[in-house]
Structure 1
Amino acid sequence: GTKVVIANMMKKYNTIGIDCVAMNVNDIICIGATPISFVDYIAANKNDQQIFKKIVEGLVAGAKKSAMPIVGGETAIMPDVIEGKGFAFDLAGMVVGLVSKKEMVLGNKIKSGDIIIGANSSGIHSNGYSLARKALLGKYSVKDKIKGVGVLGDSLLKPTEIYVKPVLEMVQKCKVAGFAHITGGSFTKLLRLKNIGYEIDSLPKLPPIMGLIQEQGVKPEEMYKTFNMGVGFCVIAPPSQVNKIKSIFKKHKISSQEIGRITSKKGVTVNSIKIA
């Protein structure tokens, strides 16, 4: 995604690989699958080994946090395809996961009265960068230090949280009805699980970077459809499982809270605003 643009502006490449791994593994665990291998692909306009080394550092860190090996990779130098002043690149990856039919979590058991538990995000994660850049970079530079936010570029580059270990523990120990990785489209993603009602009204404290974006005049409805609003991953489960789920997140040093519930009224509402 366009997070690589910020990495280039900051000349900071050692965390973008974590994001690449996180976006893959956080998706695959949504059906209860264990990530077992990863391959990466870097396309660039020039051969800069120092930068490639930094990118790979991030990939390795992300793979370690996911307890998964990187089994292969490809670096393609294609100045005719990847264009840009100075160094320009794109980064992609693919994960393979394993799950038995019996343990698959598909969302078909979600029912009215279930609780939505939100696990905190580490920041913007890897989606919404086009809107974030549009909102912020007309007024600020990536090197600006902003009260409560810190250096803007560093805040925008905070790596995506990886939820693999707590989620796979829940698959084994809890009765879970559905998982959702909150990415592009934010909470509208919940509808993919089951066409039912998702009512969210208890979001965590808004991360400062998102508060800054909102201050630039981005409407709440657009915020709720674009950014994770401090919630990077959702678990849907019966009320009896909530404390167990929250304690597993806590054990893995991730904060979580009840953010809403399942209703029979179809659609997604966040703080009384219908977004889907």
Structure 2
Amino acid sequence: MSNHPGLTYQQAGVDTAQASAGLQGLLRWVVQTHTLRQDVGAVRLPIGYYANVIDIGNGMGLAISTDGVGSKLLVAQLLDKYDTVGIDCVAMNANDVLCVGARPLSMVDYLAVQQPQARLLEELGKGLYEGARQANITIAGGELAQIGEMISGVRDGYAFDLAGTCVGLVALDRIIVGQAIQEGDRLIGLASHGIHSNGLTLARRVLLDQNGWRVDQHIPELGRLLGEELLAPTRIYVREVCNMLEAQLPIRALLHITGDGLLNLRRIQAPMGFVIEYWPEPPPIFRLIQERGRVSAAEMYRVFNMGIGFCVVAPPAATAEVCNIARQHGVEAYDLGYAVADAERRIWIRPQRLLSVRHAFVLDEPA
């Protein structure tokens, strides 16, 4: 166990509360654009959900979401390996489009580089292709920006940023934002591939800076190089979730567990909370971060996916079929808990004795 004080995401350099507060000034202007179109082109959801939906006429909506890969790109630079982060770029966008009940169709990418290194671009393209193949989407175009004066990283000449925008289709009367969740509906978790693309700043601070490990170091608890574990691509849930939708299962909510960890469950529209009764053993990478950084359980479940990368909310009668479809696609599924009426949309994680309070988890002390 490290002698350093327990780290938080904020101490590692990511202040989500400050970002939320600062975002209000930007949003004050952005939301005013929603009044500019009242028919085709009208925005159908408030800003803040995983994706938004634009009315394109004839009762159909264009779902749209944008996201990047984040500081996972620094791990790629440290390991000098770039052929998987394109998968993450697709995953972060296509998975979010799923969350409104849409079928992802296509995306574009934005790549900013310090220098246009041929090997870097080739490997990034390889990953983007593999992500698109897994998500069954096309990549219709993109932008390459050479901004050496603006971008820096940890490997000279190879600094870059990668983001994308994905679109999909959904009937306007089939949009899913958790509006129909009822008491007793089951919360079903789909397994992650590990850390995915969120919390890498905290992971790097603990494992590389505090603990002194290298990305090319074999870690027995992981069974591979540390860098390989941190670069494990974000799982893409498109095929299994689309199968659930095509089977017309009564899906009440679809939730991508990304930044803010299990607090993502609070995004739903209905005034409902969740009681989590069971949680599978998280992958070893999370235990290493928690133990080596003395990170509290509350902070771990606020920052990381903790082994569950996507959640489906459905009535009890549909739980078995949701799990069966996921497993048919090689994804383990778990019946985690149930929905409860709660105007504060609180999350109780009973195995860890945690309760969400606003934008954090705290220890749920017995009354």
- Counterpart pick for 1:181 among 229, 236, 256: 256
The answer (yes or no) to whether the contact 1:200–1:260 under 8 Å persists in 2 is: yes
Q: Which residue of 2 aligns with 1:164?
A: 238
Percent identical pairs in the alignment equals: 40
Q: Distance in 1 between matches of 2:286 and 2:244?
A: 29
Q: TM-score, normalised by structure 2?
A: 0.74
Superposed, 1:218-257 pairs within 5 Å as 218-257=295-334
Q: Which residue of 1 aligns with 2:75?
A: 6
| Structure 2 Cα separation of the partners of residues 201 and 186 of structure 1 | 17
1:114 shift after superposition: 0.6
Relative contact order, higher structure (CA 8 A, sep 6+):
1
Task: Please give the alpha-carbon distance, in whole angstroms, between the structure 2 residues aligned to 1:83 and 1:206.
Answer: 33
Residue of structure 1 equivalent to 2:278: 202
User: For 1:47, which of 116, 134, 151 is the aligned residue?
Assistant: 116
Q: Does 1:154 align with 2:231?
A: no
The runs of 4+ residues in structure 1 deviating greater than 4 Å are none
* Aligned position for 2:267: 192
What do residues 165-184 of structure 1 show as CA deviations (whole Å, max 9, x unaligned)? 11111112211110100000
The equivalences for 1:82-161 within 5 A come to 82-84=151-153, 85-86=155-156, 87-137=158-208, 138-139=210-211, 140-149=213-222, 150-161=224-235
**SS in structure 2 opposite 1:56?**
helix
Contact 1:214 1:223 (8 Å CA) reproduced = yes
Encode CA deviations 1:60-81: one digit per residue, 9 max, x unaligned: 0000111111110111111111
State which structure, 1 or 2, has the greater radius of gyration over its C-alpha atoms. Answer: 2
Q: Which moved more, 1:144-153 or 1:2-11?
A: 144-153
Aligned partner letter, 2:241: V
TM-score (normalised: structure 1): 0.97
- Alpha-carbon separation, structure 1, partners of 2:99 and 2:289: 29
Deviation at 1:22, TM superposition (A): 0.1
Q: Do 1:127 and 1:226's aligned partners in 2 also have CA atoms closer than 8 Å? A: yes
> Equivalent residue of 1:209, what SS?
helix
Aligned with 2:99 (options 30, 34, 53): 30
Q: State the number of aligned residues.
A: 276
Aligned to 2:250, the other structure's residue is in SS state coil
Q: Determine the structure 2 residue equivalent to 1:273.
A: 354
2:20 match: none
**1:14, 1:92 → 2: CA distance?**
15
1:81 to 144, 147, 150: 150
Which residue type is aligned with residue 125 of structure 1?
H
Cα displacement (A) at 1:8: 0.4
Write the distance in 1 (CA, Å) between the matches of 2:192 and 2:275. 19
Q: Which residue of 1 aligns with 2:51?
A: none
RMSD: 1.1
Give the drift of 1:264.
Answer: 2.1
- CA drift at 1:41: 1.1
**Aligned equivalent of 1:212:** 288
Q: What residue is the counterpart of 2:22 in the other structure?
A: none
